[in-house]
Amino acid sequence: VYNAAPAWGVTVGDALGVPDPLLTQHLHQHQGQTFSFLGIRVSSPLSLVVNGRRPPGSALAPPRLALSNPEEAPP
Per the CB < 8 A criterion, the answer to whether 46 and 54 are in contact is: yes
The DSSP string of 28-68 is EEETTEEEEEEEEE-S-GGG-EETTBPPPGGGBPPP-----
What residues form DSSP beta bridges with 51?
A: none
pLDDT given for residue 72 in this prediction: 67
* The model scores a pTM over 0.85: no
Per the CB < 8 A criterion, the answer to whether 38 and 23 are in contact is: yes
pLDDT given for residue 36 in this prediction: 96
List the chain domain ranges: 1-6+14-43
pLDDT given for residue 43 in this prediction: 81
* pLDDT tens-digit series, residues 24-59: 999 999 999 999 999 988 888 999 999 999 999 999
Report the C-alpha gap between 71 and 75 in whole angstroms. Answer: 13
Of 22 and 13, the one with more pLDDT: 13
